[in-house]
Amino acid sequence: MLHNNLLNDHTYNNKTGHFMYVDSVYTKTFQEMAKLASPMTTEPMSGCLSFQYQRSEDRGNLFSVYVRDRLGQYQELWRAGSENQSEWSETLGQWIPVQVDLRAPYSVQVVFEVAFNSPRGGRVALDDISFSPEFCSADTEPTFDPSIANCDFESGFCRYTQDQGAEWRRVSVKPNIFRNGDHTTGAGSFLLAHSRLSPRTGYVSRLIGPTLPGNLKFCLRFYFSLRGFNQTDQALVVYLQQQQQQQSGSQEKIWTQGEKSRGIWISTDVTFQTSQPAKVVFVSTCGNFWDCGSVALDDISVSLGDCEQTETGALASSLPGHCDFEAGLCGYTQDRHTDAADWQWRRGPTPTSYTGPRGDHSTGLGYYLHLEASPMLPGQSVRLLSRPLRGSRGRQCLTFFYHMYGSGTGRLSIHLDKSGEDASLWERSGEQCVAWLRARVEYQCDSQHQLVFEATRGSSVRSDIAIDDIVLECGPCPETEIQVTAGTTNEIE
C-alpha cells in the first residue's frame, strides 16, 4: 500500500515497495479491531517468527500477535509495549524488528491484531513477515508435545498413514498356547506386515508417522517381533523423511533390524534429530517369498531429548511398588519363612521346554521373575513381598504382566498382607497362553501393608510362571481391558 504520509517500506527501503497498514482515521467506531491472519498451517510449527513494524500513538492502540487453533482458541505470542519509547514513532519513520518463538504442536494460524481504543488511535504498519524452523534464541525451551506420534493401535492407527499397495494390517490375535498377543496388554491389537498377505513378492509396506518439527532432538521407542525371515536386514527399517524429500522420494535411514527371528516382542530406542520438519517411516520389504515372514509392530512412542542411557530398573526401584526387574528386585524380598523355594531372576527362556516365556516383557531381552517348577513338588509355592507400603483412603491400582504357559501350570495369586493377615486380591489358575498378559487389580487399604505375589507349582515340571513390569499407582484403575476380536488367523508365531 502506498500513502502520501508514509515513508519507505522495509524490504526495498523506497516508495515502490508494499507493506500492510491500518489507520484509525478509517474506522467507523473506536472499538474496532483489524486482523491480518495467515493460512492455517497443515503441520505443527516450531521455530522463530520474525516481522518488522511501525507504530504511532502508543496509547491509542494495542498491537498484538496471536496464534489461533482450529477450534478458534487464541493464545497471545507478543504485544507491543509502551515502556520503551523507541517502539513507536509519531512519523512512522523507523521500522522496528521483532522476533518471537512460536511453539505449536498442532495446526495454527498466526493473527496480527490492532485494536483502537481512542479517537486518535494512530497507525500501525507491518512488513517482511517470515518464519524459520530455528528458535530465535538458542536457550529457548521447546514445548512441542511429541505424544502426537504415540500409538498402541488399540483403537486404530492414531495419526499414522500408509502408502497405497501393500499394507500394515491392524490385527487382534486371541492369545493361546500357539500364538502371542500384542505387547500392550497381551490381548489387544498391533500392526502386522506379512508376506503371505501380499499378492506378489517384492512388496514394501510403509507406515508413515505424523510430522515432527525441526530443530529438536527426539527419542523414538517401539516394539517389534519377527518370525520366519531368513534375511533380516530388510525385515524392518526405520527412515526419516523430511518435507522437501517427499517429492524426490529420498529419505535417511536411522535404524535397521539386526536381530534374528525370535517370535518375541523386542524393544528399540532410537535418538534422532533433524533441522527440518520430518516424518518417521517404518518400512518392511519382502524381496523373495521364501526369505520373508511376518513383522509385528506395537507401542510406538516419541519423547523429547536423548533416549535414556541408564537402566530403567534403577528408575523404577525408586518408586514404591514399581519394578521391571532390570536391575534386581527393587526392594521386593523373598518370603523364606513360608515358601519352599525362591522366585528366580532370569533373562531369556526358562530351562524347561514348552513352558515359561522366551524373554521378558519390558524389552524382550531383559530380566523377569519366574517360578522354576523343576526342583519343586506339586503344590509348593514361592512368595514375593513388596516393601511396606503406606495406606491410603483412596483406591489404588496395581498393574503387572504375567506369563502362564505349560500343560501343568498351577496358580498365580496376589494377596494383601496387613499385620500378618492375608486378603486375596486376584488369582489365575492353569495354562493361559504363550503371551505376556496384563493384569490390573484395584484395592483400598488405609493402613500400612505389603503386596504378595504367590506362584504355586502345578502337576508337572511344565508349570513355570513369570511376572514382570509391576506398577502401583494412586487412584482407580482405568476401564476394563479392550476385548479381543475373535475370528482372525493372523499370528506372530
Within a domain: residue 128? yes
Within a domain: residue 267? yes
Within a domain: residue 53? yes
Among 246, 279, 304, the domain-final residue is 304
Query: 317, 427 in Cβ contact below 8 A?
Result: no
Query: 271, 207 in Cβ contact below 8 A?
Result: no
**The cell 523506497 sits on which residue?**
14
CA distance 220 to 271: 6
Section 116-140 average pLDDT: 79
The pLDDT of residue 489:
28
For residue 448, the enclosing domain spans 312-474
Reported as a pLDDT band with limits 50, 70 and 90, residue 483 is: very low
Note whether 337 and 452 are same-domain residues.
yes
Within a domain: residue 486? no
Which of 89-103, 208-222, 248-262, 471-485 is predicted most confidently?
208-222
Q: ∠ CA 48-51-53 to the nearest 5 degrees?
A: 150
Residue 480 has pLDDT above 50, yes or no: no
CA distance 44 to 104: 6
Section 144-159 average pLDDT: 88
Note whether 270 and 352 are same-domain residues.
no
The pLDDT of residue 2:
43
Residue 243 has pLDDT above 90, yes or no: no
- Output DSSP code: residue 230: S
The secondary structure of 450-462 as a DSSP string is EEEEEEE--SSS-
Section 363-382 average pLDDT: 91
Section 402-426 average pLDDT: 91
Note whether 436 and 334 are same-domain residues.
yes
Note whether 334 and 280 are same-domain residues.
no
Within a domain: residue 8? no
Cα atoms in the Cβ-side hemisphere of radius 13 Å centred on 457 = 21
Note whether 443 and 415 are same-domain residues.
yes
Cell numbers that stand for 143 in this block: 514445548
Top-confidence residue, 414 or 363: 414
Note whether 75 and 101 are same-domain residues.
yes
Cell numbers that stand for 87 in this block: 517502539
Residue 371 has pLDDT above 90, yes or no: yes
- Give the residue among 38, 42, 39, 36 at the shortest CA–CA distance from 107: 42
Integer angstrom CA distances of residue 289 from 202, 217, 229, 261, 296: 8, 38, 10, 16, 17
CA distance 242 to 249: 10
The pLDDT of residue 312:
41
Top-confidence residue, 322 or 89: 322
Note whether 363 and 285 are same-domain residues.
no
Side chain identity at residue 168, one-letter code: W
Within a domain: residue 9? no
Top-confidence residue, 156 or 118: 156
Among 132, 156, 181, the domain-final residue is 132
CA distance 293 to 232: 10
How many distinct structural domains can be found in the chain? Answer: 3
Reported as a pLDDT band with limits 50, 70 and 90, residue 1 is: very low
Residue 72 has pLDDT above 90, yes or no: no
The pLDDT of residue 378:
92
**Mean pLDDT score of the chain, rounded to an integer?**
80
Section 117-138 average pLDDT: 81
Section 331-347 average pLDDT: 85
The pLDDT of residue 318:
46
Reported as a pLDDT band with limits 50, 70 and 90, residue 263 is: confident
Note whether 429 and 378 are same-domain residues.
yes
Reported as a pLDDT band with limits 50, 70 and 90, residue 410 is: very high
Note whether 292 and 337 are same-domain residues.
no
Sign of CA dihedral 20, 22, 23, 26: positive
The pLDDT of residue 4:
52
Cell numbers that stand for 224 in this block: 517389534
Within a domain: residue 432? yes
Section 423-435 average pLDDT: 91
Among 132, 158, 179, the domain-final residue is 132
Within a domain: residue 480? no
Cα atoms in the Cβ-side hemisphere of radius 13 Å centred on 407 = 5
At 170-216, the pLDDT tens digits run 888 766 555 677 888 888 889 888 655 555 555 678 899 998 887 67
CATH code, 154: 2.60.120.200
Q: ∠ CA 283-288-292 to the nearest 5 degrees?
A: 60
**The cell 496395581 sits on which residue?**
398
What is this structure's pTM?
Answer: 0.59
Note whether 459 and 397 are same-domain residues.
yes
Top-confidence residue, 141 or 300: 300
Note whether 467 and 323 are same-domain residues.
yes
Note whether 286 and 380 are same-domain residues.
no
Residue 313 has pLDDT above 50, yes or no: no
Reported as a pLDDT band with limits 50, 70 and 90, residue 492 is: very low
